[in-house]
Amino acid sequence: MSVPLLLRLVREIPQVACFKAEAVPTPPKTRALIDGMTDRQVPILTGLGALYGLFDLHSGSNGFMTGFAFPEVLMAMVKAMRDQQPEQVAAIYQHFLPLIVFEQQPGIAVRKELFRMRGVIDNGSVRHPGAGLAPSAAEQLRLVLELTLPGVDLTKPLDVAEVMAR
């Protein structure tokens, strides 16, 4: 939907309580929505697995509504932005970006495997017609996790500050 249409919706329909921006590029659309909501502001959440999370938050996004197997990372980014610590937002984003990017492969096999590793689900199998996780991708995932989260117990919530201090 276009920015003018979204602005009209927020003006004319009081039940509109939030926008989700997920059509790339999200930062300029987010900024245009914020600038255009002169009568009434509603939160704007972005998606795309937080692939553009740093830029979304800098453009004024209120947070994320997206799939990512480590939501505590996204929460830490939002908190740092709210605490006016943009350099901390950037540091978190840069640290976890390899994992964010790797998880964005087509399909859901990588995310399901991460959920399995985190103890959220028992089985990472993907139903037909979806493709399962290829052995080479599973090996790459292990390498990304070793680089991003060395020695971290994935079954426990991440302490992002602790991970960043390693």
Helix (H) / strand (E) element for 45: namely strand 44-46
* pLDDT at position 152 over 90: yes
Q: How far apart are CA 157 and CA 43, in angstroms?
A: 26
* pLDDT at position 160 over 90: yes
What are the residue ranges of helices labelled H in 37-134? Answer: 53-58, 71-82, 86-103, 109-117
Residue 89, both tokens: 């937002």
Residue 124, both tokens: 């990472």
How confident is the model at residue 29, as a pLDDT? Answer: 95
Q: Are 110 and 122 in contact (CB under 8 A)?
A: no
How confident is the model at residue 166, as a pLDDT? Answer: 83
Q: How far apart are CA 153 and CA 158, in angstroms?
A: 8
* pLDDT at position 146 over 90: yes
What are the residue ranges of helices labelled H in 83-159? Answer: 86-103, 109-117, 135-148
Percent of the chain, pLDDT > 70? 100
For all residues of the chain together, what is the average pLDDT? Answer: 95
pLDDT band with cut points at 50, 70 and 90 for residue 67? confident
* pLDDT at position 10 over 90: yes
Across residues 55-77, what is the average pLDDT? 96
How confident is the model at residue 107, as a pLDDT? Answer: 87
| pLDDT, tens only, 79-118 | 999 999 999 999 999 999 999 999 998 889 999 999 999 9
